[in-house]
């Protein structure tokens, strides 16, 4: 394919969107660790050097994709109706279910979350890191405000603690809930072992609900 340089801002934006969309599609087929810049370039139809005109590294592509996935997730959460009358604990349980179930429906988001520190935030420039952290801070603020709308009994600091705990649990739970073929065979061989297999949504739901109950009890 003959490379045609994007010459306008609109063309450059379209080219970046094409790269991000291709990366997102690849992550429905493979984990973050297996997504290579060579394969991404091949699927986009550009030489690797030309992909690097738009993103400084594979990790920069994935970091931008994470920010886009978070924005889509937050938009979904904003559309969810607020709970009706109920005790703080009941509303906390409903919030926990909303967060856990919505994340479970977004495996690409979860995979990117789980790889954020070890992969996505490596091999990037300081400027790229600064831009990402500003976007992350804005997203965390939006999620904290959503949490307070569901649980107005929480202070801003407590709502921030709850959202941080939920995200940290999700990062760890996603990795632990993706067993290797050997572990899948081990679980299949023994019902007692199968009971030890971690369910992602259940783990995030329980951890979020318990944390919410603890924070509410402190007041």
**Which tokens in the block code for residue 50?**
């030309």
Looking at residue 7, its pLDDT comes to 66
Asked whether 180 and 117 are in contact (CB, 8 A), the reply is no
Looking at residue 2, its pLDDT comes to 45
Q: How far is CA 8 from CA 4, 35, 43, 64, in A?
A: 12, 29, 23, 21
Model pTM greater than 0.85? yes
Looking at residue 82, its pLDDT comes to 87
Asked whether 123 and 59 are in contact (CB, 8 A), the reply is yes
Looking at residue 6, its pLDDT comes to 58
Q: How far apart are the first and last CA of the chain?
A: 64
- Residue 141 to residue 160: CA distance in whole angstroms: 8
- Residue 210 to residue 204: CA distance in whole angstroms: 10
Between CA 165 and CA 36, with CA 21 as vertex, the angle to 5 degrees is 80
Q: Name the DSSP class of 87.
A: -
- The two most distant CA atoms of the chain are separated, in Å, by 64
* Percent of the chain that is helix, strand, coil (3-state, to 5): 75, 0, 25
Please give the domain boundaries of the chain with CATH numbers for all domains: 1-55 (1.10.10), 59-217 (1.10.357.10)
Per-residue pLDDT of the chain (219 residues; tens, 9 = 90+): 444 565 677 888 899 999 999 999 999 999 999 999 999 999 999 999 999 999 999 999 999 999 999 999 999 999 999 888 889 999 999 999 999 999 999 999 999 999 998 899 999 999 999 999 999 999 999 999 999 999 999 999 999 999 999 999 999 999 999 988 999 999 999 889 988 899 999 999 999 999 999 999 987
CB atoms within 10 A of CB 191: 8
């Amino acid at each position: 394919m003959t490379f045609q340089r994007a010459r306008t801002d609109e063309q450059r934006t379209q080219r970046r969107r094409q790269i991000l969309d291709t990366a997102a599609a690849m992550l429905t087929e493979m984990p973050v660790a297996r997504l290579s810049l060579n394969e991404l370039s091949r699927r986009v139809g550009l030489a690797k050097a030309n992909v690097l005109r738009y993103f400084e590294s594979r990790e920069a592509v994935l970091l931008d994709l994470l920010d886009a996935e978070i924005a889509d997730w937050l938009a979904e959460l904003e559309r969810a109706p607020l709970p009706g009358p109920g005790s703080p604990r009941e509303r906390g349980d409903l919030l926990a279910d909303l967060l856990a179930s919505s994340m479970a429906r977004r495996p690409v988001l979860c995979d990117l979350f789980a790889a954020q520190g070890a992969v996505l935030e490596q091999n990037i420039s300081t400027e790229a890191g600064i831009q990402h952290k500003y976007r992350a801070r804005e997203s965390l603020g939006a999620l904290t405000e959503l949490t307070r709308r569901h649980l107005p009994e929480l202070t801003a600091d407590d709502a921030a603690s709850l959202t941080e705990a939920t995200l940290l649990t999700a990062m760890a739970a996603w990795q632990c809930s993706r067993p290797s073929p050997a572990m899948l065979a081990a679980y299949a061989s023994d019902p007692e072992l199968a009971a030890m297999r971690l369910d992602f949504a259940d783990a995030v739901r329980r951890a979020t609900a318990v944390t919410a109950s603890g924070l509410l009890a402190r007041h």
